[in-house]
Amino acid sequence: MPNRINDAKESDVWVAVKEGDMPADSSRPLLFRTMKVKGSILHPYRLLILLRLIAIVAFFIWRIRRRNHDGVWLWAMSMVGDVWFGFSWFLNQLPKLNPIKRVPDLTAIRDQYESTTGECRLPGIDVFVTTIDPVDEPILYTVNSILSILATDYPVEKHACYLSDDGGTLVHYEAMFEVASFAKLWVPFCRKHSVEPRAPESYFGVKRRVYTGSMQEEFMSDHRRVRREYQEFKVRIDSLFNTIYQRSEAYNRKNTKEDGVKATWMADGTQWPGTWIEQAESHRKGQHAGIVKVILNQPSHKPQPGSAASIDNPFNFRNVDMRLPMLVYLSREKRPGYNHQKKAGAMNAMLRVSALLSNAPFLINFDCDHYINNSQAFRASMCFMLDPCDGQNTAFVQFPQRFDDIDPTDRYANHNRVFFDGTMLSLNGLQGPSYLGTGTMFRRAALYGMDPPQWRVDNINVADKAKQYGRSTLFIHSMLDGVNQERSLTPVFLEESVSNELTTLMTCAYEDGTSWGRDVGWVYNIATEDVVTGFRIHRQGWRSIYCSIEAAAFRGTAPINLTERLLQVLRWSGGSLEMFFSHSNACLAGPRMHPLQRIAYLNMSTYPIVTIFILAYNLFPVMWLISEQFYIQRPFSSYISCTS
């Protein structure tokens, strides 16, 4: 197997840090290497920052000494603007003085956690995907995301995939059956030929591919057949809207209710409990029952090799494990009068439901337009979580967001290079990167609001916690198990009592009066739940790790038109300011937060203020239009006088 991300080589910029800080009692080697920027680059950079700082201070002294008496108000205003520019520059620079890169060692984690006899001690992972609308967030992306998760290279009995559908549409539910059926072919194909990436749309979109395996001919014919099957799969997904509509029409002709309400019907002839095509009382967006359906059950713990090619089956899967990971569809209850808290609310519902179904100690979340591009990514994040040195105190591993379909000039700056390849690496040298919403591996304990081991005074105690976590004894009992790092997935026995409890965990009222949305789970009442949730975790003393690997771990789509992009940026800046004016203000973070990390959060929550001054500076030169007086030196006066 090619070790795609073992690139801990020294480069022109990075050098390896000596790992002298291994715990004395551990004989295991570290699971990652730490790299820092070469002194010949870092020291001149720091010197440059110092020189700039001196220049800025000198400039302010000069400005204060030379006050413009004709327009004191303008002088004062521009002084405030300049002070803010200087201050925000300083806030921006301070946390950037020591960037650190961490490179996971995949060979080490294989050696330590997976034996050649097939025994594997890697822990369980629950994978969360959120979606809301099959048209606005095209369902083709969602199914590709799920397929890439089902096919990823992680022990199949150790990861489970959850799709949260906030729209509660039958289309998403039935699409999951199509996915489960196509996955029976797609997943073994990916395993047999180690293909990458494992999202079929991007895999088949690659024009030229180099095959490195030994089954060239078999690969060619498998590839052709799977591509044909994928085309048919896409047609079936496309036609779902129509199939469901026509089926419902047929059933409704037979069973129209007296009030003339037209229901949406499932294939088995029952009414869909979620939203209907023709929206009706209790079946419309924002008002429907909670639904949990296990689409694929947890696989057995023994590999199940496929069969050799035959007349009915053209694929030779004799030495390929055919098992698929668990797949669950869920849509939380929605009722009018409740604030459903958008993505954060959906994530918290998923966190609770998964606790009863698979209860993995780690979880990773994706927006539905993101897929796994490098199937070693789960192992890569485990290198940090399971690290013998400080892994226990690591709450989350954040991957950069990389995007497809962006024009080569990146005219709306979707790639955010400075942020993903500069700022985040700098935070990595402090307490860790902030949480960015998608492509993040979490430790369940951190999301439950527990303290990191280094700050824990007592053992974890879940007795009498109903006030904090809500009144589900099954959920509270699952918690101790769910935070045990070594654990695999819990086998599921879907008895009636469990099914009822799952429905309870998804009701709108479940969180009333509890700590969900504040000290537990994803944080509520803010446009950018991600940064604030990461902040809550950091202020408790947890740390995080930034993991940027080649090939990119995950890829997704970004807004490619200006309106959408502006709205996105506006939402982010609004959320940042909200954070500043809330109890999540960085100044209130408490003593466990690294001082420079605090400054980084302060910078993250105040950066939009600069726009006021940029706007003012843009208006200064045309001020004479209003007051007919020049406060700013007349430009090119000699030129103007020549021509007049």
Ligand X SMILES: O=c1ccn([C@@H]2O[C@H](COP(=O)(O)OP(=O)(O)O[C@H]3O[C@H](CO)[C@@H](O)[C@H](O)[C@H]3O)[C@@H](O)[C@H]2O)c(=O)[nH]1
Residue 145 partner contact from Mn ion, ligand X, none using kind-dependent CB cut-offs of 5 to 8 Å: none
Nearer to ligand X, 130 or 248 (CB): 130
Is 232 within any annotated ligand binding site? no
Min. distance of Cβ 165 from ligand X in angstroms? Answer: 8
Is 137 within any annotated ligand binding site? yes
111 catalytic residue (yes or no): no
Cβ atoms of 445 and 393 within 8 Å: the answer is no
Residue 528 partner contact from ligand X, Mn ion, none using kind-dependent CB cut-offs of 5 to 8 Å: ligand X
Given the residues 105, 369, 387, 530, the one annotated as active site: 530
Q: To 10 degrees, what angle do helices 562-580 and 595-606 make? A: 130
Nearer to ligand X, 437 or 541 (CB): 437
> Which residues are within 8 A (CB) of 413 and not within 5 positions of it... i.e. 6 or more apart?
none
Over the range 294-326, which residues count as b (16 or more CB within 10 Å of their CB) and which as e? bbbebbeeeeeebeeeeeeeebbbeebbbbbbb
166 catalytic residue (yes or no): yes
Min. distance of Cβ 290 from ligand X in angstroms? Answer: 14
As a whole number of angstroms, the distance between CA 441 and CA 559 comes to: 24
Residue 183 CB-half CA count within 13 A: 28
As a whole number of angstroms, the distance between CA 479 and CA 462 comes to: 7
Q: Which of residues 252-291 bind Mn ion (CB under 5 A)?
A: none
Give the number of other Cβ atoms within 10 Å of residue 64's Cβ.
10
Cβ atoms of 35 and 14 within 8 Å: the answer is yes
Q: Which residue is nearest to ligand X (CB)?
A: 437
> Which residues are within 8 A (CB) of 619 and not within 5 positions of it... i.e. 6 or more apart?
none
Nearer to ligand X, 572 or 617 (CB): 572
Min. distance of Cβ 330 from ligand X in angstroms? Answer: 11
Selection from 469, 551, 554, 482 nearest residue 517 by Cα: 469
Nearer to Mn ion, 104 or 345 (CB): 345
Nearer to Mn ion, 136 or 259 (CB): 136
Is 367 within any annotated ligand binding site? yes
Given the residues 153, 166, 321, 369, the one annotated as active site: 166
Size of the site for Mn ion (CB under 5 A): 1
Min. distance of Cβ 558 from ligand X in angstroms? Answer: 7
- Residue numbers of the site for ligand X (CB under 6 A)? 130-132, 137, 164, 166, 342-343, 346, 367-368, 437-438, 528-530, 568, 572
Is 302 within any annotated ligand binding site? no
Nearer to ligand X, 30 or 350 (CB): 350
Nearer to ligand X, 266 or 330 (CB): 330
Min. distance of Cβ 15 from ligand X in angstroms? Answer: 33
Nearer to Mn ion, 166 or 367 (CB): 367
The mark string for 488-517 relative to Mn ion (x by CB under 5 A, - otherwise) is ------------------------------
Residue 368 partner contact from ligand X, Mn ion, none using kind-dependent CB cut-offs of 5 to 8 Å: ligand X
Selection from 335, 360, 319, 334 nearest residue 128 by Cα: 360
The mark string for 333-372 relative to Mn ion (x by CB under 5 A, - otherwise) is ----------------------------------x-----
Selection from 180, 521, 206 nearest residue 355 by Cα: 521
Is 342 within any annotated ligand binding site? yes
Identity (one letter) of the amino acid at 440?
Answer: T
Give the number of other Cβ atoms within 10 Å of residue 537's Cβ.
25
Min. distance of Cβ 557 from Mn ion in angstroms? Answer: 7
The mark string for 379-398 relative to Mn ion (x by CB under 5 A, - otherwise) is --------------------
Q: To 10 degrees, what angle do helices 473-482 and 496-505 make? A: 90
Task: Read off the tokens for 317.
Answer: 């899967």
Residue 153 partner contact from Mn ion, ligand X, none using kind-dependent CB cut-offs of 5 to 8 Å: none
Min. distance of Cβ 533 from Mn ion in angstroms? Answer: 17
Q: Tally the residues of the chain.
A: 644
- Indicate the DSSP class of residue 391: G
Min. distance of Cβ 310 from ligand X in angstroms? Answer: 42
> Which residues are within 8 A (CB) of 207 and not within 5 positions of it... i.e. 6 or more apart?
none
Residue 132 partner contact from ligand X, Mn ion, none using kind-dependent CB cut-offs of 5 to 8 Å: ligand X
- Alpha carbon distance, N-terminus to C-terminus of the chain: 78
Tokens 């494990």 locate to 321
User: Burial of 641 by CB count in 10 Å (0-12 exposed, 13-18 middle, 19+ buried)?
Assistant: exposed
Residue 84 partner contact from ligand X, Mn ion, none using kind-dependent CB cut-offs of 5 to 8 Å: none
Query: Where is the binding site, in residues?
Result: 137, 166, 342-343, 367
Residues making contact with Mn ion (CB under 5 A): 367
Catalytic residue list: 166, 530
Query: Where is the binding site for Mn(2+), in residues?
Result: 343, 367
Query: Where is the binding site for UDP-alpha-D-glucose, in residues?
Result: 137, 166, 342
